[in-house]
């Protein structure tokens, strides 16, 4: 589905709230030409076991299995360890891909290592609980050695990859007749086994990682330490992931992408700012929609001028939580997220602001629509904003102009993710959400002014 330019997008959303007469139409068959044949092929599942040598003997092999329910992604798949053939395959140049990508994400490609520790462990290593800190190679090694014998899960992590995997699963649902969404990511991984691990894990989720590995590079990692009180402490080793080169290959990918998403964490890397600007400039020239994720308050404060330059000059969509939105607007903690959404929507066509259990807001042209939160018992709130962003993008890519409906879908995606362990939207949940949203869109064809009470049931 080709997307409209940012001006047409704005017009579509800003006029969507105007009442129109309810029109009765003859139902169209599911095989109508506006739908493509649904995607049916799924790659075989692979269990990747990382050798202890990768981490200096820091973790047990048996605990380096799949995380975020990916073993359930294809119950009929073949489970096997990562071998030399996988590594050699991943080191080759990526395939050329389709004529156009629906979404291309630019972000940090980091392998996450998640483990449970107690407060004494953090105190002993001098780590402040609940913080996010960039560490060097030596600091990373010190923490991994201290964790020797602890269990952990390894995953192709990163805020952007969470959103893209969820979007890919929504977009390849077998419960709808929509064409498969073509989702890709570009970043930087090394030519080490961790880089192959990252690429193979995303490939299993039908997310194509298109950047070639950096020769002799070291793939970045994030150690996620969770204490019994559910607080997470993150230690990021950037490695090769701290670079993003805007070469001819990446320029070609940007030129044939309908939506380009820039992960906010890239802004804190001084060598990537120019690449971000070049990518946004080319995307803008080619009529692509440009989305930016705020990522982190501290990142916004450290890189405020660069953030504001990209957001105000290029962004069509901005994703932020309440604190990040306030940081952009330089508002105090007592100011409402709705005020921040309204303020930002004067500069960005569409602004998404999440506020946890209090709901969320979608801002357009100085106005903000409140999205109530669905019932949910939170278990793990990490990744909630990433999941919400995938719902917004999915609604836009499926052609909906009903902001309330798009926001309700995004809220449901986020609620499902926070009610489970792990940051990834499960395949079966994605199928159910995509099917219900498709039924909602079909209903809108019969009556365009469906009331909110009905919309909330989709």
Q: What is the 3-class SS of 290-339, one letter each residue? A: EEEECCCHHHHHHCHHHHHHHHHHCCCEEEEEHHHHHHHHCCCCCCCHHH
Average pLDDT over residues 10-34: 37
In angstroms, the CA 103 to CA 169 distance is 13
In angstroms, the CA 427 to CA 433 distance is 10
Average pLDDT over residues 84-112: 68
Q: Residue 356 CB: number of other CB atoms within 10 A?
A: 16
Average pLDDT over residues 70-91: 36
Cα angle: 103, vertex 246, 346; to 5 degrees:
55
387: Cβ contacts below 8 Å, ≥ 6 apart: 162, 163, 166, 410, 413, 414, 416, 417, 418, 423, 425
In angstroms, the CA 337 to CA 331 distance is 10
Q: What percent of the chain has pLDDT over 70?
A: 75
Average pLDDT over residues 336-356: 96
Structure confidence by residue, pLDDT tens digits, 294-330? 988 988 999 999 999 999 999 999 999 999 999 999 9
Average pLDDT over residues 23-37: 29
Write down the pLDDT at residue 13. Answer: 59
Where residue 123 falls among pLDDT bands split at 50, 70, 90? very high
- Whether the predicted model's global pTM rises above the 0.85 cut: no
Structure confidence by residue, pLDDT tens digits, 403-435? 999 999 999 999 999 888 777 888 889 889 999
Alpha carbon distances (Å) from 26 to 102, 207, 394:
30, 37, 26
Structure confidence by residue, pLDDT tens digits, 250-287? 999 999 999 999 999 899 877 789 999 999 999 999 99
Write down the pLDDT at residue 3. Answer: 56
- Provide the mean pLDDT of the chain: 77
226 has pLDDT over 90: no
Task: Catalogue all structural domains in the chain, each as residue range(s) with its CATH number.
Answer: 6-15+32-455 (3.40.1190.20)
127 has pLDDT over 50: yes
Q: What is the 3-class SS of 191-203, one letter each residue? A: CCHHHHHHHHHHH
Write down the pLDDT at residue 12. Answer: 56
Structure confidence by residue, pLDDT tens digits, 61-71? 323 333 344 43
| Residue with the larger pLDDT of the pair 8 and 444 | 444
Structure confidence by residue, pLDDT tens digits, 152-204? 778 888 889 999 999 999 998 887 888 899 999 999 899 889 999 999 999 98
- Residue whose pair of structure tokens reads 């704005």 in the numeric block: 10
Where residue 9 falls among pLDDT bands split at 50, 70, 90? low
Where residue 370 falls among pLDDT bands split at 50, 70, 90? very high
**166 within 8 A of 424, measured Cβ to Cβ:** yes
Own/partner pairs, 303-311, CB within 8 angstroms, 24+ separation: 303/267, 303/268, 306/267, 306/273, 306/276, 307/264, 307/267, 309/277, 310/262, 310/267, 310/276, 310/277, 310/280, 311/347, 311/348
Q: What are residue 25's DSSP bridge partners?
A: none
Where residue 27 falls among pLDDT bands split at 50, 70, 90? very low
Where residue 85 falls among pLDDT bands split at 50, 70, 90? very low
34 has pLDDT over 70: no
105 has pLDDT over 70: yes
Average pLDDT over residues 231-246: 83
């Amino acid at each position: 589905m080709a997307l409209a330019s940012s001006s047409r997008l704005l017009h579509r959303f800003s006029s969507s709230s105007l009442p129109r007469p309810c029109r009765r139409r003859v139902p169209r068959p599911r095989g109508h030409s506006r739908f493509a044949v649904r995607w049916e092929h799924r790659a075989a599942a692979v269990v990747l076991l990382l050798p202890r040598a990768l981490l200096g003997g820091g973790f047990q092999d048996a605990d380096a299995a799949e995380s975020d329910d990916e073993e359930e992604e294809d119950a009929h798949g073949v489970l096997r360890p990562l071998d030399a053939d996988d590594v050699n395959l991943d080191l080759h140049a990526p395939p050329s891909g389709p004529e156009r990508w629906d979404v291309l994400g630019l972000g940090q490609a980091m392998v996450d290592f998640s483990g449970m520790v107690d407060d004494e462990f953090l105190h002993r290593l001098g780590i402040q609980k609940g913080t996010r800190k960039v560490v060097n190679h030596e600091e990373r090694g010190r923490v991994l050695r201290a964790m020797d014998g602890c269990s952990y899960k390894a995953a192709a992590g990163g805020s952007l990859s969470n959103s893209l995997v969820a979007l890919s699963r929504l977009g390849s649902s077998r419960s709808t007749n929509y064409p498969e969404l073509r989702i890709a990511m570009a970043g930087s991984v090394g030519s080490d086994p961790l880089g192959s691990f990252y690429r193979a894990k995303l490939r299993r989720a039908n997310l194509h990682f298109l950047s070639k590995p950096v020769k002799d590079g070291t793939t970045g990692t994030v150690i996620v330490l969770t204490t019994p009180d559910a607080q997470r402490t993150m230690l990021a080793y950037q490695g090769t992931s701290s670079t993003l080169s805007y070469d001819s290959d990446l320029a070609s990918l940007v030129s044939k992408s309908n939506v380009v998403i820039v992960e906010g964490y890239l802004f804190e890397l001084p060598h990537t700012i120019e690449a971000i600007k070049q990518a946004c400039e080319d995307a803008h020239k080619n009529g692509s929609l440009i989305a930016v994720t705020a990522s982190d308050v501290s990142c916004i404060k450290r890189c405020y001028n660069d953030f504001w330059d990209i957001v105000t000059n290029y962004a069509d969509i901005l994703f932020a939580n309440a604190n990040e939105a306030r940081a952009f607007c330089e508002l105090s903690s007592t100011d409402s997220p709705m005020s921040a959404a309204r303020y930002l929507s004067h500069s960005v066509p569409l602004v998404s602001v999440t506020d946890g259990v209090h709901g969320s807001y979608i801002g357009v042209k100085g106005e903000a629509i409140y999205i109530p939160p669905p019932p949910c018992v939170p278990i793990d709130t990490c990744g909630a904003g990433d999941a919400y962003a995938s719902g917004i993008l999915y609604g836009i890519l499926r052609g909906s102009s009903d902001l309330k409906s798009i926001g309700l879908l995004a809220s449901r995606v986020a609620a499902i993710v926070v009610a489970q362990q792990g940051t990834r939207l499960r395949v079966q949940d994605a199928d159910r959400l995509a099917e219900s949203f498709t039924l909602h869109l079909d209903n809108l064809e019969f009556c365009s002014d469906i009331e909110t009470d009905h919309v909330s049931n989709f």
